[in-house]
Structures are given as structure tokens and as C-alpha cells.
Chain A
Amino acid sequence: MQSSVDIADAVPPKAGMKRAVRRRATVGRILIGLASLVFLVVLVVQVLHAAGAIAAGFSTWRPILIVYLLWAIAFGTAQVLIRGERGQRALFLLPAVFFTVAVVIFPTIFGLYIASLDWNLSSIEGPHFSGLDNVRAMLSDTYYWNALGNMVFYSVAVLGEYAIAFALALLLSAEIRARKFFRVVFLLPMMLSPVAVSWMIGKSLLEYRFGPAATLARYLGWDNPAFFASPWMARFTIQAMDAWVSIPFIMIILLAGLQAMPKEVQEAAKVDGANGWQSFWHVTFPIMLPVSITVLIIRIIFKLKLADIVINVTAGGPGGATDTVSSFIYRVYRDRSNVGYGTALAMVYLLLIIVLLTLVLRLSKRWTQRVT
């Protein structure tokens, strides 16, 4: 990592200091060289050991992790030795970068490799290379396409969550008593773990025989309150539960936006004789548009990860009607131990997300610029 700083440490050093600096830099370079050498040697030994070529080696790959850590520390120290002040500055960023490379970048690349394997953990024969077979299998996997279709529904439903959250934010920003109490209460659902919510609402409140929601539905005249029997009903119920958990998040951010809005604008609208709806539609809503788009995008990103509630309440049923991509891949692994295929599905999903999100970000940038 090179770090360039505007204000170079530009004091011309004396000759002796210069030599000391140069010596330190040499020590630093030697340190990097040594650390890299150790890392490579251990890696090669372990790869050969794992391949069965040599007997020397470790029983697990854990030493590689330790050597990587040592290498990272040596690299950081060497940066300070070689670059001095600038090296110290680089040291702020390096831990996070090394961590991310080890825990995100490497596994993702490794995942691309796994995705090209025909690898079933429960079968006796190990992994073998199968190229694009997994992707080909995916194209004819109706369950996967169905799950992708469901993701579209769940993502569009974010608009409904947004509408409710906006209404709640407006309520909370009105002149009311006990505002703090209502804010805490409205925030609570967000704090609860989706797994607990799955039981609390999905498995007990909505229970067919004696859940209070079912009782209420019967009282209101719905004879057969089965919340998870028909595909669309199940989809809406899952969506409602996810909305219950996530509306507070949207609400809090919209509320912050409303509170940051200059009061004069509202008053000006009032002076001009606008009624409540007009001042909302022509003043508040346009001003809130950038915040709204930001929160919608964040919310959709999180929605695309939806899994916990589906896994625990319906396990994707009935007939895959409530499946999300994540819960489907989870079952591919849990039921069939199919690591290669599952990873391939996940990689395609990631690719789709990246492409779509790039498009949405482009569009939204243009759109918010035009409005504001």
C-alpha cells in the first residue's frame, strides 16, 4: 500500500540522519522479504502435504492463518521503517484492509472455484471439476427461478413498508405528548431477533387453531384463517412479519430527515394557504426525496438477504411460494449437502445484485439531481 500525503515530510534531513533513514528502510525491506518467504514456504509445504506429495506438514490449515497474521504484522512494521511518518499513517488503514482481504476477498474468490466443482459433502467421492455444469443445472432449476421471482415481490413490497414508515414518522414529528415513549415503542420490533419473531408471530400468534390472530380473523368473519396455506397468503404473511421487524429502521431515518428539515419551509407553505395534504405532497415529500431514495436502496439491499424468518416459519413452503434465494440455498446445503451447486447459485445471485444495484444507483443519482 502506498500512501501519499499532501504535506510531505519535507524537512531536508542531515547526512547522518539520511543514512539512518536509509538503513531503517533496508531493514524494513528485508523484513518484508523474510516474512513473505516464510509465508510462501509454509504455504507450499502445506499444499504439498495436503496433496499427499510430502509427509511433512500440518494436520489442519490453521498455521496458514497464523503465518498470514505474522506476515501482516511484519508488513505493517516494515511500512513504518521504510516510510516513517507516512508508514504510520498507512498503519491506520492496513488492519482493516488485511482483515477484509482475508475474510471477504479470498473466500469470494475461493467461492468462485467451489462454484465450478461437482461437490457433495455427503458423498464419498471428493470434489471434481465440472466447469459450468452447475450454472447449466441452475438454468433448468425452476425452484431457483421461483425464488428469484419471490425476491422481486419482496423487494417491491419495500414500497409498502416505506409508506407505513413515512406515515409513522409524520405522526412522531407532529406535536404530540409522550413522543419519547412512542419512539421507543415503535423502535422495539427492530431490536428483536428474527428467529424469536418467527416463533412469537409466525408460529404462535398466527397459529391456525388458537393463535389470537386466527381467533380475531374468525371473529371478523374469515372462517378458515390459514395464514400459510395458499401461496399468496403465505407470501403476504411472511412479508408482513418482515415489515414488522424492519419498518422501525425506515421510520427512524425518515424521522431524522423530517427533523433536519427547515421549519420555515413548512410555515411558508401554511402562509400560502396550503392544506395538510398539499403541504405534504408539494413541500415535505420532494424535500425528503433524497433521504427516501437512500433509505429505500439500503432497505432493498437488506431485503435481498432475507432468510431467517422464511427458514424458521415456512421453510420455503407451501411449494416454494415463500422461498427467498438465501433460504433456498440454505436448504440445498442442509438437505442435499450440495456445496458446489449451492455456491454456484449464490455467485449468480451476487452477480445479479451487483448489476441491478449499479443500475439503480446510476438512475437514482440522475433522478435526485434532477429533482433537487
Chain B
Amino acid sequence: MAVTTAKSAHRHPVAPRAKRMASRALIYAALLFWTFICLFPIYWTVTTSFKSAVDVTQAHLIPWVDFNPDWKGWRSLGLSPDTLFETSTARSEFVNRFINSIITSVGASVLALILGSLAAYGLSRFRYKFAWMRNDDILFFFMSQLILPPVVLALPFLVLYKALALLDTTFGLILLYTLTVLPIVIWIMRDQFNAIPVELDEAAFVDGLSAWGAFLRIILPLAFPGMAAAFILSLVLCWNEYFFAALLTSTDAKTLPVMVASQTGSQGINWWSMAALSTAAIAPLVLIGIFLERYIVSGLTTGAGK
């Protein structure tokens, strides 16, 4: 490649170099433009949580230059330095919703990881036959639930949960969220198990381990990267889920997205407190996105490159 460029450079001394510079500049301009599109809404939300009314209406953008940052939004949530140690109903509600979100999303992700890993290992190693269904059909049966829109299940679940006294409970939400991420976990974990050589299982069998012994002692520790990817991806999906939570919770089990949504609905809510609430709701995800991006990407791209 170097040879060809040298040759053409010889023929046209200036043009290719300038052309390459231009295309470089174009690439970086495009990259920076999209970076701006991705980051500006986040920047705007975070800064707005520090603005007073005048700064919002006059569209001041840069802290310390355009406006003096103030803990305004955070004070209304009870999360600013001066209110942090006082009692605050707003804060206790926020903390309550935050903990609900954590319990629900972690609970559902763990449950989905257990059920999904077992099923994925079975599908990857053994051949099943259930009526007319073979392994591929069983896998398709699990994957086909991705197609199901939440609305189809929402109203039957409303009626069922009422009868089961599971409305507005964290456990009820965990069951539903597990169901929504289970296909994804099975998909990722099956790919992970397929990547681990069968010879390892066979060696374990020769050593006298049962199928479960081989799975728990030998294979599962090796499958850690896939499990991490599946877990983090499920966590993000469950954390952001709104539709079921809005229909099935009312007071006790409300999650963070429902709280954010109920605040946007009320007119005349202060921008700064709304901005603070949004910032607090997206902060864990931004951190996950920055530090655990590797797992998210590997989870999403499972099987894509083949």
C-alpha cells in the first residue's frame, strides 16, 4: 500500500496529500458533530439542574461564564450539600424509588441469568426432543418471545396480578422483567457455551462428574465473560423499563422511570428539579456505559459477525 501511495504521490506531487488531509478533516468533523449530538442533551440536563429560572429562560449554557451554578435543582430533591443531612420527603421518595429500581432490575437479571444459563447450557450440549420440537425449535420458542409486544401481556397481567395479589409488588415486576430479558440471556449464553470446547465436558465425565457437576465446576467459571455481558445488558434493559411498571405499580413498588414520568406529567414543575431528577436517573447508566462498555458491546454483538 505504501508503494502505491508513493507512486501516485510522485505523479501528482500535491493533490493526493491535500485530498487525504481534506478527507481526514471531514471524518473528524463528522465524528465531532455526532459527539455533539450525543452529548449535548446530557450536558444540557446536567447543567440545567444547576440553573435558576432566569438562566433557563435566557438559554444560558456555560456555567461560570453565562450563569452562576447553584444547587437549586438538587436542593428540591434534598440532595444538595446543605440539605443532605436534613430530613426531606422529596429525598426519601427518590431514594425509595431508586432502591425499588435496583431491587427489581438486579433481581430480574439474576433470575434471568440462572434460568437462561441452565437452558442455554442444555441447548448447547444435549439433544432434546419434546413432541415435534427439537433443539432448534425450542430455541426458536424462547427467542420468539422477543416479538411479543408488552401491550399483549400488559392487560392480562393486570387482571392476573390483581387475582394473585401481586399488583404493586416488586416480586411481580421481577417476574415480568425476567421474562422480557430471558430470550436475550439465552441467546448470549448459548453462544458463550458453544465457544467452550465440548472436550472439557467429556473430560469431566471421564473424571466421574455428572452433567450438573461438569456444568457447575468446570464450564460455568469459564463462561464468566458471557455471563457478565448478559447480566449487564439485562440490568440496563430492566432499569429503563417503563411500560409494565407504569401499569402494574401505584405506590409501593414504583420504579424510577415511573417517578420521572409522573413528574413530567404535572405542568409547572420546575425545570431545575426535573433536570436534577433526570440526571440522577441516568447517572448510573452513564457510568455503566463508560466503564462497562466492553460487556455491553460484546453482549449486543453476539452472533452478529457470523
CA–CA, A193 and B256, complex, Å: 10
Do A92 and B126 form a contact, CB below 8 Å, given A198-B264, A350-B148? yes
Instruction: Let me know if A278 is at the binding interface, CB within 8 A.
Output: no
Does A204 contact B261, Cβ atoms closer than 8 Å?
A: no
CA–CA, A64 and B34, complex, Å: 53
CA–CA, A199 and B150, complex, Å: 22
Does A103 contact B179, Cβ atoms closer than 8 Å?
A: yes
Does B182 contact A256, Cβ atoms closer than 8 Å?
A: no
The 0/1 profile, CB within 8 Å of A marked 1, for residues 269-306 of chain B is 00100110010011001101110010011001100111
Instruction: Let me know if A88 is at the binding interface, CB within 8 A.
Output: yes
CB of A248 to closest CB in B, whole Å: 8
B residues less than 8 Å from A277 (CB atoms)? none
Instruction: Let me know if A267 is at the binding interface, CB within 8 A.
Output: yes
Enumerate chain A interface residues (CB-CB to B < 8 A): 1-6, 60-62, 64-65, 85, 88-93, 95-97, 99-100, 103-104, 107-108, 110-111, 114, 167-168, 171, 174, 176, 182-201, 203-205, 209-210, 212, 215, 244, 249, 252-253, 256-257, 259-260, 267, 270-271, 291, 294-295, 301, 304-305, 307-308, 311-312, 325-326, 329-330, 333, 339, 342-343, 346-347, 349-350, 353-354, 357
CA–CA, A4 and B35, complex, Å: 54
Of B76-84, B152-160, B221-229, which binds chain A?
A: B152-160
Does B153 contact A212, Cβ atoms closer than 8 Å?
A: no
B182 contact from A100, A176, A353, Cβ within 8 A: A100
Instruction: Let me know if B61 is at the binding interface, CB within 8 A.
Output: yes
A residues less than 8 Å from B44 (CB atoms)? 200, 204-205, 212
CB of A137 to closest CB in B, whole Å: 16
- The list of the 8 closest CB pairs from A to B, nearest first, reads A92-B122, A260-B305, A96-B119, A193-B240, A256-B301, A111-B156, A60-B165, A191-B289
11 additional A-B pairs beyond A93-B119, A111-B155, beta carbons within 8 Å, are: A88-B211, A89-B122, A92-B215, A95-B118, A96-B119, A110-B156, A194-B242, A195-B242, A199-B274, A325-B149, A326-B150
Does B261 contact A195, Cβ atoms closer than 8 Å?
A: yes
Q: Which chain B residues numbered 27 to 58 have a C-beta less than 8 Å away from chain A?
A: 27-28, 30-31, 34-35, 37-42, 44-45, 48, 56-58
A residues less than 8 Å from B42 (CB atoms)? 188, 192, 200
Could you give 8 example pairs across A and B, Cβ below 8 Å?
A1-B128, A96-B116, A185-B38, A191-B296, A196-B278, A256-B301, A311-B261, A333-B155
B residues less than 8 Å from A252 (CB atoms)? 297, 300-301
B163 contact from A61, A330, A347, Cβ within 8 A: A61
Q: Which chain B residues numbered 233 to 264 have a C-beta less than 8 Å away from chain A?
A: 236, 239-240, 242-243, 246-247, 256-258, 260-261, 264
Does B61 contact A212, Cβ atoms closer than 8 Å?
A: yes
A residues less than 8 Å from B130 (CB atoms)? 1-3
Does B242 contact A308, Cβ atoms closer than 8 Å?
A: yes
CA–CA, A252 and B155, complex, Å: 34
CB of B125 to closest CB in A, whole Å: 8
Does B156 contact A198, Cβ atoms closer than 8 Å?
A: no
Instruction: Let me know if B65 is at the binding interface, CB within 8 A.
Output: no
B residues less than 8 Å from A188 (CB atoms)? 38-39, 42, 286, 289-290
B151 contact from A92, A199, A308, A346, Cβ within 8 A: A346
CB of A212 to closest CB in B, whole Å: 6
Do A107 and B300 form a contact, CB below 8 Å, given A92-B118, A93-B122? no
Instruction: Let me know if B98 is at the binding interface, CB within 8 A.
Output: no
A350 contact from B30, B152, B257, Cβ within 8 A: B152
Do A196 and B176 form a contact, CB below 8 Å, given A85-B210, A90-B128, A188-B286? no
A200 contact from B41, B118, B164, Cβ within 8 A: B41
CA–CA, A256 and B254, complex, Å: 37
A residues less than 8 Å from B306 (CB atoms)? 260
Instruction: Let me know if B85 is at the binding interface, CB within 8 A.
Output: no
Determine the residue in chain B with the shortest Cβ distance to A347. Answer: B152
Determine the residue in chain B with the shortest Cβ distance to A249. Answer: B300
CB of A47 to closest CB in B, whole Å: 12
Does A96 contact B186, Cβ atoms closer than 8 Å?
A: yes
A residues less than 8 Å from B155 (CB atoms)? 111, 114, 329, 333, 339, 342-343, 346
CB of B72 to closest CB in A, whole Å: 15
CA–CA, A61 and B1, complex, Å: 73
B residues less than 8 Å from A5 (CB atoms)? 126-127
B residues less than 8 Å from A354 (CB atoms)? 147
Residue among B122, B138, B271 with most chain A CB within 10 A: B122
Does A176 contact B28, Cβ atoms closer than 8 Å?
A: yes
CA–CA, A201 and B234, complex, Å: 25
Does B164 contact A61, Cβ atoms closer than 8 Å?
A: yes
Does B126 contact A89, Cβ atoms closer than 8 Å?
A: yes
The 0/1 profile, CB within 8 Å of A marked 1, for residues 186-216 of chain B is 1000000000000000000000001110010
CA–CA, A3 and B178, complex, Å: 26
CA–CA, A241 and B235, complex, Å: 22
A residues less than 8 Å from B68 (CB atoms)? none
Residue among A114, A167, A259 with most chain B CB within 10 A: A114
CA–CA, A352 and B224, complex, Å: 39
Determine the residue in chain A with the shortest Cβ distance to B46. Answer: A200
CA–CA, A343 and B28, complex, Å: 50
Instruction: Let me know if B89 is at the binding interface, CB within 8 A.
Output: no
B153 contact from A111, A187, A311, Cβ within 8 A: A111
The 0/1 profile, CB within 8 Å of A marked 1, for residues 72-115 of chain B is 00000000000000000000000000000000000000000011
A96 contact from B142, B148, B212, B271, Cβ within 8 A: B142
A191 contact from B126, B288, B304, Cβ within 8 A: B288
CA–CA, A61 and B172, complex, Å: 14
CA–CA, A339 and B42, complex, Å: 38
CA–CA, A326 and B150, complex, Å: 8
CB of A323 to closest CB in B, whole Å: 12
CA–CA, A96 and B142, complex, Å: 9
Does A100 contact B160, Cβ atoms closer than 8 Å?
A: no
B residues less than 8 Å from A189 (CB atoms)? 38, 41
Do A307 and B164 form a contact, CB below 8 Å, given A187-B297, A333-B155? no
